[in-house]
């Protein structure tokens, strides 16, 4: 099963916590999929302590008695573990983004160098090899090394606006220069 990305894990944990707080019944698999091995072990240990507590004490009737002896329902134990997992996920968010960025850069470099050197080995000139390597990056949906746009239709709205502003400024400066030259 693929691992959750950090932001998806956080959203899923928040959703499950809300469901537990609202009193919905959740399957164990719905919770276990969101926990790592250490968190699952922590859950098992906490629940086994509760099982021992249930064997030694009768179910307390009052809330004070429950708090005094540490009595918790499985929902409370799950909620506690999910809250801890949410805190851990939030703390690891930056590292997750950095790792994904690093992996994307490594993938980009591998694709580019593999394509480039395979073309060189096949006797293709350097300029064509560079172009083919950049095209391979485009096929994989990665940013090209030469930073060329894919085509004129891929410009974003903001890019078009900036280009229009730059063109207008260029025309204005050229008009000012011609006025200065005439004087």
In tens, the pLDDT along 45-98 reads: 988 888 888 888 777 777 777 777 777 888 888 899 999 999 998 888 888 889
Write the pLDDT tens digit of every residue in 3-21: 677 788 889 999 999 998 9
CB 34 within 8 A of CB 8: no
Per-domain residue ranges of the chain = 6-91, 103-148, 155-183
Looking at residues 121-143, what average pLDDT do you find?
Answer: 89
Structure confidence at residue 182 as a pLDDT band (50, 70, 90): low
Please give the model's pTM, rounded to 2 decimal places: 0.59
Question: Residues with Cβ < 8 Å from 154, sequence gap 6 or more?
Answer: none
CA 117 to chain centroid: 32
pLDDT of 32 strictly over 60:
yes
Given pLDDT bands bounded at 50, 70 and 90, which one contains residue 108? very high
Both tokens of residue 70?
């540490």
User: What is the 3-class SS of the chain, one letter each residue?
Assistant: CCCCCHHHHHHHHHHHHHHHHCCCCCCHHHHHCCCCHHHHHHHHHHHHHHHHHHHHCCCCCCHHHHHHHCCCCHHHHHHHHHHHHHHHHHHCHHHHHHHHHHHHHHHHHHHHHHHHHHHHHCCCCHHHHHHHHHHHHHHCCCCCCCCCCCCHHHCCHHHHHHHHHHHHHHHHHHHHHHHHHHC
- Quickly state the pLDDT bin for 183 (edges 50, 70, 90): low
Cβ proximity of 96 and 5 under 8 Å: yes
Say if residue 109's pLDDT is above 90.
yes
pLDDT score recorded for residue 2: 58
Dihedral class, residue 128 (left if φ above 0, else alpha if ψ from -120 to 50, else beta): alpha
14: Cβ contacts below 8 Å, ≥ 6 apart: 86
């Amino acid at each position: 099963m693929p691992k959750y990305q950090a932001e998806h894990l956080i959203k899923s944990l928040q959703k499950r916590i809300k469901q537990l707080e609202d009193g919905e019944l959740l399957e164990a698999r719905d919770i276990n999929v969101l926990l790592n091995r250490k968190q699952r072990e922590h859950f098992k240990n906490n629940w086994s302590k509760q099982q021992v507590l249930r064997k030694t004490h009768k179910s307390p009737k009052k809330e004070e008695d429950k708090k005094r002896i540490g009595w918790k329902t499985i929902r409370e134990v799950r909620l506690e573990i999910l809250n801890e997992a949410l805190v851990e996920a939030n703390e690891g968010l930056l590292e997750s983004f950095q790792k994904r960025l690093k992996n994307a850069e490594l993938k980009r470099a591998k694709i580019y160098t593999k394509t480039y050197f395979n073309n060189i080995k096949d006797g293709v000139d350097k300029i064509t090899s560079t172009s083919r390597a950049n095209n391979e990056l485009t096929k994989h949906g990665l940013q090209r090394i030469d930073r060329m746009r894919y085509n004129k239709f891929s410009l974003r709205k903001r890019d078009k606006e900036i280009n229009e502003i730059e063109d207008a400024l260029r025309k204005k400066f050229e008009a000012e220069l011609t006025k200065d030259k005439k004087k």
